[in-house]
Structure 1
Amino acid sequence: MTTPSEPPAPSGGPASTRPGRKLGPVADNVGSAHRAWLDPMRSAYLSSGLTLNELSTRVRFAKSKISEMLRGVGLYPRLEIVLRLATELDMPNWPLYRLWKQAALETHKSSDWISGCTNRTAVKTTHIAPPLDHSALRQLMEKDYELYAQTFLDDDQRDIAVRDAFDRLWLSWNEALASHDIRRYAWNVLRTTVMARTPHRDGRPELGDAAFDTVILQSLAEPADCAHQLTETLELFAAISRLPDRQLDVMVLRRLRGFTPEQVSSLLGASLATIRSDERHATRFLDSVIPPPSTEGITP
C-alpha cells in the first residue's frame, strides 16, 4: 500500500476513442443494488477497448440488447448474458453472481426466476476464493467498515452493504491495484455502497437511528445522563449530516466511533495532515451551529 497523499485527478476514461456510438448513461431508475454490479461492468467495458459490435459478435447477443443492459434499460437481465459479458470482460463470476442475485431480489424477482436463471446458465457460479491481497485488505478493514456502516444502517443492511462493497471491490480489483492508493479506492467503494442504502433527507444522510450505538452513549450508565446526552447527540448528528463528505466521514469516525486521527488516516487513505485539517474545519462548523449547553439554574 502506498503512503496516503492527494491523488491526481482521474482521467475520466480511456485515452483512445472507440468507433461507433458512445455508450449512454445509466438510466435514472436503476437501483443501488443493480448499480453495484452494473457500474463495475461498465468500467470494465470502457477500459477493454472493445466496441459494442465486437462484444456483440463475441457473445452472440444483439448489440442493441447489450447497450440496453449496460445502461440498465428494460427488464432486469438474466444471469446467462451477464456472465457471458463478464467472461469477455475478464470479470470474476462469483462476486458478480452474488451482486446480480442481490439486485434481482431487490427488484422483486421471484426465487423461482432466480433459480431458473442459475440452472439455465452453462457458466459456473461456484464459490472461488478472491485474490490473496483482496482477502488481506478485507481482513484488515472489515470490522472498521462495519462500524462506519452501523452509524447509518441497521444490522442487516450494514452486513449487506459491507459484503456488497467487498464484492464490488473484487469486481474492479485490477483497477483498485492500479489506483494511487488502494485504501482510498476501497473506502470510496465502501462509502458509495453504504450511502446508496442510507435514508436521506434533503439530500443529506440521516444518522439519527444510530444514536443508541455511539461511543458516547455506550459509556453512560445513569438514565438521566442518557436522556440528556441523547438530545445533544441527535443535535450533533443533524449537524454532522450537513458536512462535506470527507469531513462527515472524519467526524463520524472520530466523534462517534472513537478512532484516532492515525486510524482514520489509514482507513480513508488520506494523509494525517488532511484528516486533521478536515477535523478542524468540521469542528468549527459544528461549534457554530450547535448551541452551547444550557447553564440555566446553575449557580456560579
Structure 2
Amino acid sequence: MTTPIEPPDPAPLRPGRKLGPIADGVGSVHRAWLEPLRYTYLKSGLTLSDLGSKVPLHKSKISELLRGTGLYPRWEIILSLSVQLRLPSWPLYRLWRQAALEAQKSTDWVDKASVTTSQSPPLDLRAFREMTEDDYSLYAQVFLDDDQRDKAVSNTYDILWLRWNEALASPDIRRFAWDALRATVMARTPHIDGRPEFGAAAFDTVALQSLTTVPERVDQMAESLQLFKAMSWLPDQQLDVMVLRRLYGIDPEGVSALLGVPLAAVRSCERHAAHFLEGVICPSPETEGNTA
C-alpha cells in the first residue's frame, strides 16, 4: 500500500528531545491532518515548550499528539495549535472531524467542537481544483466506491490546502498534488498481497462502453478482469499511466499534465507496462514452456 512519506525536519536543530515518528496504526485521515501539522511545527523552529506555553496542553502531551499516540485530541487543542502554527482551520477541522468519526468517536463528542465560519481556499488552489477534480474523480473511481471516491478526492484538496505553501515551493505542483491524491486513494483501497484491488473500473472502461450486445460485453468483462489483475502488479507510475490511458483514453499529453511528469516518461511507462501485460495475459509459447 502506498503511504505518505514523512518529510525530513526542515528546521535547524532545536533543544530538547527529537520528535519521534508518527506511530504505526494511525489511520489514513488522522495522518492526513497530522502530517501537515507536524511539518509546519518542525519548520517553525518552535519547541514543544514554546507550544506548551501557548496552548492548554503540557509539552509531553503535545509530543504524543504530534506522534498520533494517546487519546484522539479534542478540536479545541488542534485549533489552538493551528493558530500558533498559522494553519488554515477549516480544512484541518474537516479532516479532524472525519478522522474522529472513523476512530469511533460519537457524533455528540465530535459536534461539541467549536467551529468558526468556513474559510475559502486560496484563489490559485480553487483554480487548480477546477482543472483537476473531474480527472481525480475518474482515477479514484477505479479503486473506490462512489462514497469513498468522493471522500478521497475531497480529502486530497483539504490536504493540499493545508500544504499549499509546500506545494508551491515544490518542483511541480501537479506532481505534488498527484502524490497527495494517490496516497489518499491507496490508503482507502483494499489490497490483496500488497496489490491494489480494482473496483468499479470493470464496468466503466472505454472498451466496455463501446460494445452493445450482451455476449460482447460479457467477453469484454472477463478480459477486463484479467487485465485488472495483471495491472495490479505494475509499479506505481506505470499503473497510474495505464489507468488514465487505457481505461479512460486520456491522451499522453493530458496524462503528462495531470501527473506532472515529462511526456517522454508517460510514453516510456506505457510502453513498459504494455510489454509486461502482454507477457502476462498473452504469453508466448516459449514463456509458457518455461513456466514452472
| Shared fold per TM-score greater than 0.5 | yes
Hey, what's the Cα distance between the residues in 1 that align with 2:202 and 2:150? 19
Unaligned runs of 5+ in 2: 1-5, 285-292
Shift of 1:291: 2.3
**Equivalence map 1:228-267=2 (5 Å):** 228-267=219-258
Relative to structure 1, the CA distance from residue 211 to residue 147 in structure 2 (aligned partners, 3 Å threshold; closer, same or farther) is: same
Q: Which amino acid aligns with 1:207?
A: F
Hey, what's the Cα distance between the residues in 1 that align with 2:7 and 2:233? 29
Hey, what's the Cα distance between the residues in 2 that align with 1:24 and 1:232? 48
Q: Which amino acid aligns with 2:205?
A: T
Greater Cα shift, 129-138 or 26-35: 26-35
1:47 aligns with 2:43: yes
Hey, what's the Cα distance between the residues in 1 that align with 2:14 and 2:275? 49
Hey, what's the Cα distance between the residues in 2 that align with 1:179 and 1:245? 20
Residue 25 of structure 1 is matched in structure 2 by: 21
The alignment-based identity, stated in percent, is 63
1:100-151 C-alpha deviation (Å, 9 max, x unpaired): 11111111111110112x14xxxx4321110000000000000000000000
Hey, what's the Cα distance between the residues in 2 that align with 1:180 and 1:11? 15
Q: Which amino acid aligns with 1:12?
A: P
Match among 8, 13, 16 for residue 12 of structure 1: 8
Instruction: Name the count of aligned residue pairs.
Output: 279
Taking only aligned residues, the RMSD between alpha carbons, in angstroms, comes to 1.6
Residue 106 of structure 2 is matched in structure 1 by: 110
Question: What TM-score comes out, normalization by structure 2 length?
Answer: 0.92
1:221-272 C-alpha deviation (Å, 9 max, x unpaired): 1110111111110111011111110111000000111110000000000010
Match among 69, 93, 108 for residue 97 of structure 1: 93
Question: What TM-score comes out, normalization by structure 1 length?
Answer: 0.90
2:256–2:262 contact (8 Å) kept in structure 1 = yes
Hey, what's the Cα distance between the residues in 1 that align with 2:108 and 2:254? 45
Residue 198 of structure 1 is matched in structure 2 by: 189
Match among 149, 158, 166 for residue 175 of structure 1: 166
Hey, what's the Cα distance between the residues in 1 that align with 2:106 and 2:198? 32
1:63 aligns with 2:59: yes
Hey, what's the Cα distance between the residues in 2 that align with 1:208 and 1:196? 15
Hey, what's the Cα distance between the residues in 1 that align with 2:99 and 2:157? 15
1:153–1:210 contact (8 Å) kept in structure 2 = no
Hey, what's the Cα distance between the residues in 2 that align with 1:102 and 1:13? 27
Q: Which amino acid aligns with 1:139?
A: E
1:157 aligns with 2:148: yes
Residue 288 of structure 2 is matched in structure 1 by: none
Q: Which amino acid aligns with 2:260?
A: G
Residue 74 of structure 1 is matched in structure 2 by: 70
Hey, what's the Cα distance between the residues in 2 that align with 1:98 and 1:253? 29
Q: RCO greater where, 1 or 2, for CA within 8 Å and sep 6 or more?
A: 1
Match among 13, 36, 47 for residue 32 of structure 2: 36
1:45-97 C-alpha deviation (Å, 9 max, x unpaired): 11111111111112242011101111110111100001111111110000000
2:11–2:42 contact (8 Å) kept in structure 1 = no
1:34–1:103 contact (8 Å) kept in structure 2 = yes
1:131 aligns with 2:127: no
Shift of 1:15: 5.3
1:208–1:238 contact (8 Å) kept in structure 2 = no
Hey, what's the Cα distance between the residues in 2 that align with 1:231 and 1:37? 40
**Equivalence map 1:81-92=2 (5 Å):** 81-92=77-88
Hey, what's the Cα distance between the residues in 2 that align with 1:292 and 1:218? 27
